Chain A
């Protein structure tokens, strides 16, 4: 059975994050139930990182989200998430430090079941972020 696929492309601006959340929430409400709300947070944090940190090197000015819903898995692909050389700098911060910022990567790691980066075939040096979340048994068809 092929997955249901949803795609959204919006400018990489803080004001567009609401639209990303609404788009993802509408899909996840039926796919993940109550867990969907936290997955929306993880996606929002990933897209906010694009707005904050993405460099022109990746050759993209938009947020591109692709969602694939399968009976047991939801897979997200965020296009041109970062440049390959940015990868070593992406890590959760030490939560013992009392300072603002750096929490988003921690949230993504806590909420999602799998996090991977894959090379963008049409954008040399750019990496897509791939996130996966297993569908809880009680939500499966």
Chain B
């Protein structure tokens, strides 16, 4: 897996989808927040696809919490898609897995 954070934002129907690959850490997390905020401005639902995330720390989790709070303020939906095993483990450690709406990858059954 790659380590450098790669972000790709795009539209899927009414959703703004942010594809995240690589490592989300203290250095790179602000870029993810910018992309999430951009998505929330332009769509009713922001989806953050975390399948390609090889590492996330508390800075990255904090960005996801900020994204959720921004979405709630704007009356929009915020969804995490297909978190990798490491992301799922860290969400569980933070006891936040119940807080987020989490969807499987589009090609997986819901």
| Residue tally, chain B, CB below 8 Å to A | 24
Q: Is the beta-carbon distance between B65 and A48 smaller than 8 angstroms?
A: no
Smallest Cβ-Cβ distance to A25: which chain B residue: B55
Nearest CB on B from A14, distance (A): 4
- The answer on a CB contact under 8 Å between B23 and A18 is yes
Give the residue of B3, B25, B94 whose beta carbon is less than 8 angstroms from that of A44: B25
Which of A15, A41, A99, A101 is B90 in contact with, Cβ under 8 Å? A41
Max chain A C-beta neighbours (<10 A), residue from B55, B58, B66: B58
Kindly state the separation between the CA atoms of A16 and B13 in the bound complex, as whole angstroms: 39
> In B51-110, which residues have CB < 8 Å from any A CB?
55, 57-59, 61-63, 65-66, 68-69, 86, 89-90, 93-96, 99
Question: B26 contacts A103, CB within 8 Å?
Answer: no
Contact partners of B68 in chain A: CB under 8 A: 98
A-B contact count (CB 8 A): 60
- The dominant DSSP class at the A interface is helix
Instruction: Kindly state whether residue B12 has any CB partner on chain A within 8 Å.
Output: no
B94 touches A103 (CB 8 A): yes
A18–B25 touching, CB < 8 Å: yes
How far apart are the CA atoms of A38 and B88 in the complex, in Å?
Answer: 12
* B57–A98 CB distance below 8 A: no
Q: A107 touching B58 by the CB < 8 A rule? A: yes
Which one of B26, B55, B59, B94 lies within 8 Å of A106 (CB-CB)? Answer: B94
Extra A-B contacts (8), CB below 8 Å, given A95-B94, A99-B65, A101-B62: A14-B26, A48-B25, A95-B96, A98-B65, A98-B99, A100-B65, A104-B58, A106-B94
Interchain residue pairs with CB less than 8 A apart (16): A14-B26, A18-B3, A18-B23, A18-B27, A41-B57, A45-B57, A48-B57, A48-B58, A99-B65, A100-B65, A100-B66, A103-B61, A103-B94, A104-B58, A106-B93, A111-B93
Task: Please give the residue numbers on chain A whose beta carbons come within 8 Å of chain B beta carbons, in ascending order.
Answer: 14-15, 17-18, 21, 37-38, 41, 44-45, 48, 51-52, 95, 98-101, 103-104, 106-107, 110-111
